[in-house]
Structure 1
Amino acid sequence: MKKVERQQLIRKIIAKSQIERQDDLVAALKGKNVYATQATISRDIKELQLVKVPANDGGYRYALPAQGEIDNQTRLSTELSNNMISLKRQEQFLSIIMHPGNGPVMASLIRQLEIDGVFSVIGDDAGVLIVCRSIDAAINVEKMFWNLMN
């Protein structure tokens, strides 16, 4: 199962069940024939921005954030517009220079979007290197990024 599908299932489980711990979520997924490690679920919880809220029994349970999920493409557009210093392409590589501290967020957003043609994304404090599967894919991704900024 793809990450996007697993995370959609997690949203449904969280909405319908009292999930108190990561182990409970692993078990709930297993009950639906989806096998994931606790480490994978931990990353999903972080990416989904799940929060713990008081449960009816006095404990705490996972819930979706109150403001709702922000569309990752909108977040990417905002990050590009507000924090990108430069975007360059050479062959099948794209280099994005960001204001310091914004590289990891940008790399994470690009990974979450699972953009067609992107092979790998590497981010550091102020930069992101995107390795595309072909030169044409790199051109398409570059155009997409410029369009998101306009």
Structure 2
Amino acid sequence: MDYMKKHERHKLLKQLLVKNNVYRQEDLVDLLAKRGIEVTQATISRDIKQLQLIKVPLNDGSYRYTLPSEKEVDAAVKLKKTLQDVYVSSDIHNEMCVLKVQPGNGPTVSGLFQQMNYPEVFACISDDDTIMIFNRSTQAASKVQEEIRKLTNED
């Protein structure tokens, strides 16, 4: 089993994404394993967030991972545009906000939300279409909900 530094693994992951259709995180684990590099699915999940990989729809209805566009865009602009494209609904309960998005977009929106470094936000977790935003107080949750409404033009 080879150990690979994170930046080297990220470089290899980018190369693999260009040369292969990658539909699932497990596909990346398998592609690395074929090269003698053992990683866990959790490591790949972190790599996906750090590389800001996105899932794009294919004609057959499936999704594959791809690199974000090389053009560097401000996180706030990316978050606003992404939310306007994929937002479904949001709600709050006590210190938590739940944000529903179109399938396949949860990790991307969660990653962008975390890049914003909102002081009210303690942590975000996501799955395919839902982001759970843990806030520092109920007042913080209300403030974050208002920010989501502004970003999605749902005033």
Shorter-normalised TM-score: what interval?
0.5 to 0.7
Q: What amino acid maps onto 1:147 in structure 2?
A: K
Q: Distance in 2 between matches of 1:112 and 1:103?
A: 14
Q: 1:73 aligned to 60, 69, 76, which one?
A: 76
Any unmatched runs of 5+ in structure 1?
Answer: 1-20, 24-38, 48-64
Partner of 1:148: 151
Once the two structures are superposed, residues 90-142 of structure 1 have per-residue CA deviations (whole angstroms, 9 ceiling, x without a partner) of: 11100011111010101111111111110010000010000000011111111
Check 1:66–1:83 CA distance in 2 against 1; reply closer, same or farther (3 A cut): closer
Partner of 2:139: 136
Hey, which bits of structure 1, 4+ residues long, moved more than 4 A? 42-45
Quote how far apart the aligned CAs of 1:74 are.
Answer: 1.0
Partner of 1:100: 103
Check 1:66–1:92 CA distance in 2 against 1; reply closer, same or farther (3 A cut): closer
Check 1:45–1:124 CA distance in 2 against 1; reply closer, same or farther (3 A cut): closer
Any unmatched runs of 5+ in structure 2?
Answer: 1-5, 9-42, 53-67
Equivalent pairs counted in the alignment come to 97
Cα RMSD (Å): 2.6
Partner of 1:110: 113
Quote how far apart the aligned CAs of 1:45 are.
Answer: 6.8
Q: Distance in 2 between matches of 1:66 and 1:92?
A: 34
Partner of 1:46: 51
Q: Distance in 2 between matches of 1:85 and 1:126?
A: 9
Quote how far apart the aligned CAs of 1:66 are.
Answer: 8.3
TM-score (norm 1): 0.57
Contact 2:97 2:132 in 1 (8 A): yes
1:127 paired with 2:133, answer no
Matched residue of 1:89: which SS?
A: strand
